[in-house]
Amino acid sequence: MSITSLLSGALGFGTAPLGNMFRAIPEEEAAATVEAAWDQGIRYFDTAPFYGAGLAEIRLGDVLARHPRDQYTLSTKVGRVVLDELEDTATREMGEKGGLFEHGRPNKVVNDYSADATLRSIEDSLTRLRTDRLDIVWVHDIAQDFYGDEWLARYESARTGAFRVLTRLREEGVIKAWGLGVNRVEPLELTLALDEPRPDAFLLAGRYTLLDHDRALQRLLPEAARQDVDVVVGGPYSSGILAGGQHFEYQKAPAEIIDKVTRIKKLTERHGIGIKAAALQFSLAHPATVAAIPGATRPSRIAEDVAALDEKIPAAFWQDLRDERLIAATAPVPAG
């Protein structure tokens, strides 16, 4: 099924920053940001046990518990189980994302995509989120950026474990949809080539943005559209560099990325538009993409996202991006 029936709009809220990504966020600030999202009309919230070892789920659940459950859509992820045992967050193995959540909870996080771990992960998430049901469940991070050369083995574990469990839960009506939530296109291409099981959607983070979209355009998005598998865009601001931040791919942005962003900013200034508007609307312009879920840790950022979605962007801006080879010639762009 398409997940569009579960979404009230194209803008959702990604909660990775609420897991103390990059910095320790005060509780009041985290709660106020989620409330701001609600007040701005956002009704799709995405989270994961991985974000701060359950911290993001706890913070999101504390706020959403104040609102009627049937008025919002909730997704979380499986593939990591959070234990009561504690560990040093600075030495946690995170592939290419080292130190990402070193300010999160010190609970030990175990990577496990088996059937039993999937069921345990869901039960634990329900407790942290203070709810009795999930709408969408993503299988998290079975890709090269976390597992290197071992990613295919991890993928096979998920295929025979998590995929089958989530398919059964969907058939039983326990969840409404499932898919993969990753930062690479290869696991999604591989999944689309399977005869079964069949996911409903994908959450693709950082791979369909103004700064990085060529690979997704080649095969993934056309095939997803052909198979009616919806794509939710995570990280439309490329870890923050397209929204005034300094990070790209969850690390300090390299010189070539800073240069590219500078060139894009010059064009946005020439046309009198915001770079956040350009980034967000570009990610949503492809027929396969149904929503974008930027993250935020300050209430003011939510209003900026809503305004960015509605901002009018002239067709000449997109043509300038193409002329300067800042976007692919084949990339769909919003109507002028």
Q: Of residues 77, 176, 260, 276, which has the active-site annotation?
A: 77
Q: Of residues 44, 46, 135, 155, which has the active-site annotation?
A: 46
Q: Which of 249, 228, 171, 238 is nearest to 208 (CA)?
A: 238
Active site annotation includes 51: yes
182 DSSP 8-state letter: E
CB 42 within 8 A of CB 102: no
Q: Of residues 51, 72, 237, 250, which has the active-site annotation?
A: 51
Q: If residue 61 lies in a helix (H) or strand (E), which one and from where to where?
A: helix 55-64
CB < 8 Å & 24+ apart, contacts of 251-254: none
CB 230 within 8 A of CB 4: yes
Interatomic CA distance for residues 246 and 162, integer angstroms = 35
Q: Name, in order, each residue with C-beta under 8 angstroms of 23's C-beta and a sequence gap of 6 or more.
A: 103
Active site annotation includes 77: yes
9 DSSP 8-state letter: S
Q: What are the DSSP calls for 274-327, one per residue?
A: -HHHHHHHHHH-STTEEEEE-B-SSHHHHHHHHHHHH----HHHHHHHHHTTSS
Active site annotation includes 72: no
Residues annotated as catalytic are 46, 51, 77
